């Protein structure tokens, strides 16, 4: 329907040819939170042929402040985010095929989801999944767009396999201090700013305008009025195990994944992160103290988020008391400990 997309077609870098290309493309969105819902709506309104949304969570009241596809009814009935997003998106553009996947993204799931995908948009909230996305994208040669937000701060970067450094190459340049939206909060304007960068890059890729792609890692703090754009091209490493000359895709390996174990008879799940380096418990306690009462000593820290109690040890191992559901415990772990 030309009239639906007429203003987009009039934009000469897209035009009729670009619009026809969009109709043939398949975008995979990992995460249906703030970044995911906003990116999904833009892709659907733009006329992308198929959009797959993968998310493991359900709609909560705290989501409504920034996750634009959801309603009070969705929160009241605890509707899975992927399902609620699909329903809303289908009402926006019935020409687009929307696929909802209610699942935790693992290497096994990504190997299935990646089939036939032209672009991945990162809208998740934990680094484990981002590294799985990164290695999957490199293995199958699919471009992806990284995005992250917390507080008033956001980051974005576009990864093109065999051309740009991958996320593994840049790990030392990307802040990973453990802050999450549930511990440091988030304001909606930074969501929209990072989505604008992600979705613009997506449209460039999907319409074949690769020459217009941004080759930089960008960051913004919309509250303190700071921004940066770092040219990271020189950081591509031939020895990178994810995108180098002899890739092993380490984050698709079981040993590089977060492990969970239900402790028999204790209503407790133990979570062991992939990396076992010594944690700075004082630093973690300081971040958590803004939203919870934290107790700690040189060996461990503990805090409560009713009805759950968390205990974190120096090696990063965490006990989540109050549940024997490993998947739910993992969600709580990423929510509060990043």
Residue 217's SS3 state is strand
- Using the structure block, give the residue that is written with the tokens 């060996």: 299
Q: Tokens 């996750």, residue?
A: 67
Task: For the chain, list the strands marked E by DSSP.
Answer: 26-30, 50-55, 97-102, 119-122, 144-150, 153-159, 216-221, 226-231, 259-263, 268-272, 294-296, 300-305, 308-313, 318-321
Question: Are 284 and 310 in contact, with CB atoms under 8 Å apart?
Answer: no
Q: DSSP H helical segments within 48-141, as ranges? A: 72-76, 81-92, 107-113, 127-140
Q: Which is catalytic among the residues 181, 240, 243, 264?
A: 181
Measured in whole angstroms, the distance separating CA 124 from the mean position of its chain's CA atoms is: 2
The answer to whether 181 is a known catalytic residue is yes
Let me know: does 295 contact 301? Beta carbons within 8 Å.
Answer: yes
185 contact partners, CB below 8 Å, separation of at least 6? 150, 151
Pairing state between β 268-272 and 308-313: unpaired
| Active-site amino acid positions | 181
């Amino acid at each position: 329907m030309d009239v639906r997309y007429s203003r987009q077609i009039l934009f000469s870098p897209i035009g009729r040819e670009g619009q026809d290309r969009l109709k043939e493309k398949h975008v995979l969105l990992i995460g249906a939170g703030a970044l995911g819902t906003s990116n999904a709506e833009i892709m659907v309104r733009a006329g992308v042929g198929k959009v797959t949304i993968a998310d493991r969570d359900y709609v909560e009241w705290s989501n409504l402040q920034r996750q634009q596809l959801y309603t009070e009814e969705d929160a009241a009935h605890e509707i899975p985010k992927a399902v609620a997003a699909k329903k809303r998106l289908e009402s926006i553009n019935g020409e687009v095929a929307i696929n909802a996947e209610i699942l935790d993204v693992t290497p096994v799931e990504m190997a299935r989801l990646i089939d036939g995908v032209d672009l991945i948009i990162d809208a998740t909230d934990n680094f484990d999944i981002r590294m799985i996305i990164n290695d999957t994208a490199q293995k199958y040669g699919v471009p992806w767009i990284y995005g992250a937000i917390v507080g008033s701060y956001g980051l974005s970067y576009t990864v093109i396999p065999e051309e740009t450094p991958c996320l593994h190459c840049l790990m030392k340049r990307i802040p990973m201090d453990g802050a999450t939206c549930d511990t440091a909060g988030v304001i909606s304007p930074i969501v929209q700013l990072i989505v604008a960068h992600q979705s613009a890059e997506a449209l460039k890729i999907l319409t074949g305008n690769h020459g217009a792609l941004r080759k930089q890692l960008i960051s913004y703090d919309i509250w303190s009025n700071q921004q940066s754009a770092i040219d990271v091209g020189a950081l591509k490493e031939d020895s990178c195990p994810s995108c180098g000359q002899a890739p092993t895709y380490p984050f698709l390996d079981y040993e590089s994944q977060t492990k969970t174990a239900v402790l028999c008879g204790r209503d407790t799940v133990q979570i062991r992160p992939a990396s076992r380096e010594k944690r700075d418990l004082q630093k973690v306690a300081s971040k958590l103290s803004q939203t919870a009462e934290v107790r700690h000593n040189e060996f461990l820290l503990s805090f409560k988020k009713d009805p759950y109690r968390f205990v974190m040890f120096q090696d990063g191992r965490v006990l989540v008391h109050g549940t024997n559901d490993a998947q739910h415990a993992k969600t709580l772990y990423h929510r509060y400990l990043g």
